[in-house]
Structure 1
Amino acid sequence: MRRRFTVASAMVGAVALMTLAGCTTDPSVTDSSEAPESSEEASVEWFDQALFDKQNAERTVVPEGPDGQPWLQTINAELVDTAQFASTGPKKACFANASISNPWRQTGWITMNQQLKVLQDAGVISEMETRDAQDSDDTQIADIDYFIDEGNCDIFLISPNSTAAMTPAVERACDTGKPVVVFDRGVQTDCPVTFIHPIGGFAWGIDTAEFLIDNLEKGDKVVALRILPGVDVLEQRWAAAEKLFDEAGIEAVDYFTGADPAEIKKIISDELAKGDVKGIWMDAGDGAVAAIEAFEDAGADYPVMTGEDEMSFLRKWKETGLTGLAPVYSNFQWRTPLLAAQKIFAGEQVPVEWVLPQSPITAEEVDQYLALNEGMPDGHYAKFGGEDLPGYPQVWEDRVIP
């Protein structure tokens, strides 16, 4: 029996603020002044003990798959047969994308297109027709229906804008009899051949909270900077961290920032005026540099801090020498849907839920990732996994958006 997919969890309806597809978002999309100041005001219970335990266990599982190719590795895979889709000759992929409205998605989109070139040269994919929903549920539903009505898609690739709203459209794509691959966020149906995603938000929350707890004392204050309410992968990050902070006796206060650097600086300045802030926790790396600069402006000691594998944070981390950790929501997952398509058309088994590794960058690894990404812009993600693809590094350095 195949399991029922949800957005890397089992909870979430249609969310109007779903501009995120991983770890970052565009601060212009939402007015942070309208967001609740504390997660205590949230009307949804985001903590899920079973999912917390599952993702906690997956953090220590050694992935199976080819060494040095994490985009093809799997964790606790339950394989599904795809012999019914086996076919020779180049195939047309139809990709319904939520958006490329933020640096995380842009980095992944560039990588995906370079992977496409490899598969085109190999005669696996003839073309990938893509429609960009620009962060709109209604637009993405129309995009999927357009592909269905067009009638010449050999495979549907879908990165959903939101969960429940996209489910019926995904099911209509499945009803065509063509394979459907969903990645990043999921949908509330088991009809796709595979659902591809990193371990998830609870794993991020555990990694980051445990790091802060290990480097702080009971009673120390942590300021949690959160970009958006109501997005499941973000809410799960905070739900896990909040639980662990409470258990460890860490005083944690959280604020929604919309990833606005000015708002972040104001929050940190106000908290520093109240007393010592020993730690900074972030549910995404946007604005990490602004948070650090707020300590510099106040003449305060640098905090223990978790950011993300965005280059701006890694560079500031190295410059300041602060005690830090860069959690990762594996950007290389953008390669995997096309590689899954290759396997599906070859009739090879694929995981029904393709869980990819998700490993933070530690202090011992910062120099390594800074060197590997030396010419990349600040909005680039260090663990993008495209070093072996054509156009590296120039295409990513120049931010060539197809």
Structure 2
Amino acid sequence: MRTHPSSPRRRTAVAAALVAAVAVTATGCGSGTSGGGSAGSGDKPFIALSNGFIGNGWRQTMIAKFEAAATKAQSDGLIGKFKVVNAPGENSATEQVAQIKSLLLQKPDALLIDPASPTALKPVIQQACDAGIKVVVFDSAIDAPCAHVLLNSFKDWATAAAEPLVKGIGGKGTVIVSRGVVGSQPEAEMYQTTQDILGRNPGVKVAATVNGMCDGAKAQKAVLGVLSSVPKVDGVIGCGDGYGVAQAFTSAGKPVPAVTFETNGRALKYWQESKLDNGSVAVMSDPGQSVAALWEAIDLLDGKDIPKEITFPIVLVEQKDVAAWAGVLKPDEYAAWPWTQELFRKQVEAAKSGGAPVQPPIPTTAG
């Protein structure tokens, strides 16, 4: 999957109309009082979310969590309106730039962005900031100084995925590396971390590298495509695609090696029932950070002091916690920390004081 650089848009009425039409077809919108205008106009704020990629379960959970929280915030009178727009392509920065430009015409008070590129969105983000819109970027670093950013520790994610697996196979053997959304800043950081870990473990050899896209179905197809040329595999280092990888090995009539499971209900139930104890782990970033971004936008509009960058914890499911998570997740739902407004504000205070990130509790009910 490629990330395309942004290009100038034609400034014609026809092009603007086409962009608007695309945005409408890909939009989910909260009902209620319309936002728009400034936060100080007396209206409740209008919050928009631009998502650069919708093609995996993590992104779908991220959107679902945001919409549920935004609907509740709307009913509580904290916001007046919300809108979600998903770029129709596969992580195309060009499409997301067009999407955001269309959103800016609707004058949101705050714009949340899960970006397709750490650099290509900089001009349009600056345009939003210049218009007085609060911009909160999450799930990726961004080259846009005016934006507030919720960061994952992708190094922690990649480390938690690779190190237990390497240890589980005894520091030697053959592995397949399943990469994520290639072209994105998080994937680049994770892949480099994986390479660094493998470099410190010369007894582990990489037999193949595939693009699993952090998606079980895509990883299953990608891994199955190389298994016939790899006689023995001790582990597959991925970014949350282990269920699909396990199915690939089962289909090929081979034993399931150590894998990096996704953090959804289906994968965790499989892990629980298969009783694998070979270095496998489930780890991904937190799809609930879209909810944290919503709370940040609301607090920024209220004039609260929030650091420009805050790092949020990954979701790590170890063997001891598999049953707890598997009991509360629907099959296609990904584990997400339950960020309430109170928990988010505690995270802000931790960031200000230099303390450790807040660790929310494992939810006790689904959804």
Scaled by the length of structure 1, what TM-score is found? 0.68
**2:45 matched to which residue of 1?**
91
State the alpha-carbon separation in 2 of the partners of residues 302 and 292 from structure 1: 6
- Superposed displacement of residue 227, structure 1: 4.4
Q: Does 1:215 align with 2:168?
A: yes
1:214-293 map, 5 Å = 214-249=167-202, 250-258=204-212, 259-271=218-230, 273=231, 276-285=232-241, 288-293=242-247
- Superposed displacement of residue 131, structure 1: 3.0
Aligned residues: 303
Relative to structure 1, the CA distance from residue 294 to residue 89 in structure 2 (aligned partners, 3 Å threshold; closer, same or farther) is: closer
- Superposed displacement of residue 208, structure 1: 1.8
- Superposed displacement of residue 108, structure 1: 1.0
State the alpha-carbon separation in 2 of the partners of residues 290 and 130 from structure 1: 29
Query: Which residue among 258, 265, 274 is the counterpart of 1:320?
Result: 274
1:198-213 map, 5 Å = 198-200=152-154, 202-213=155-166
State the alpha-carbon separation in 2 of the partners of residues 290 and 211 from structure 1: 19
Structure 1 residue runs without a partner (length 5+): 1-13, 19-83, 397-402
SS for the counterpart of 2:3 is coil
AA of the residue aligned to 1:304: A
- Superposed displacement of residue 188, structure 1: 1.2
**1:65 matched to which residue of 2?**
none
Relative to structure 1, the CA distance from residue 359 to residue 262 in structure 2 (aligned partners, 3 Å threshold; closer, same or farther) is: closer
Deviations 1:366-389 (A, max 9, x none): 00101112xx13x3202353899x
**1:16 matched to which residue of 2?**
4
State the alpha-carbon separation in 1 of the partners of residues 97 and 182 from structure 2: 23
- Superposed displacement of residue 89, structure 1: 5.0
State the alpha-carbon separation in 2 of the partners of residues 155 and 291 from structure 1: 39
Relative to structure 1, the CA distance from residue 170 to residue 256 in structure 2 (aligned partners, 3 Å threshold; closer, same or farther) is: same
Do 2:210 and 2:222's aligned partners in 1 also have CA atoms closer than 8 Å? no
Do 1:89 and 1:124's aligned partners in 2 also have CA atoms closer than 8 Å? no
AA of the residue aligned to 1:357: P
Q: Does 1:118 align with 2:88?
A: no
Relative to structure 1, the CA distance from residue 227 to residue 367 in structure 2 (aligned partners, 3 Å threshold; closer, same or farther) is: same
Do 2:117 and 2:185's aligned partners in 1 also have CA atoms closer than 8 Å? no
- Superposed displacement of residue 356, structure 1: 0.8
Q: Compute the RMSD of aligned alpha carbons.
A: 2.9
**2:143 matched to which residue of 1?**
188
Query: Which residue among 54, 61, 67 is the counterpart of 1:100?
Result: 54
Do 1:199 and 1:356's aligned partners in 2 also have CA atoms closer than 8 Å? yes
SS for the counterpart of 1:224 is strand
**1:361 matched to which residue of 2?**
317
AA of the residue aligned to 1:196: L
Relative to structure 1, the CA distance from residue 236 to residue 342 in structure 2 (aligned partners, 3 Å threshold; closer, same or farther) is: same
Do 2:157 and 2:284's aligned partners in 1 also have CA atoms closer than 8 Å? yes
- Superposed displacement of residue 196, structure 1: 1.3
Do 1:103 and 1:380's aligned partners in 2 also have CA atoms closer than 8 Å? yes
- Which structure's relative contact order is higher, taking Cα pairs within 8 Å and 6+ residues apart? 1
Structure 2 residue runs without a partner (length 5+): 7-37, 213-217, 342-363
Do 1:85 and 1:344's aligned partners in 2 also have CA atoms closer than 8 Å? no
**2:120 matched to which residue of 1?**
165
- Percent identical pairs in the alignment equals 22
AA of the residue aligned to 2:276: L
Moved more, 304-313 or 327-336: 304-313
Query: Which residue among 115, 129, 142 is the counterpart of 1:174?
Result: 129
AA of the residue aligned to 1:221: T
Do 1:85 and 1:347's aligned partners in 2 also have CA atoms closer than 8 Å? no
Scaled by the length of structure 2, what TM-score is found? 0.74
Deviations 1:98-150 (A, max 9, x none): 24332111111111011112211222210013333223433322232233334
Query: Which residue among 121, 127, 133 is the counterpart of 2:87?
Result: 133
Do 1:163 and 1:185's aligned partners in 2 also have CA atoms closer than 8 Å? yes
**1:144 matched to which residue of 2?**
100
State the alpha-carbon separation in 2 of the partners of residues 186 and 86 from structure 1: 29
- Superposed displacement of residue 298, structure 1: 5.3
Relative to structure 1, the CA distance from residue 393 to residue 189 in structure 2 (aligned partners, 3 Å threshold; closer, same or farther) is: same
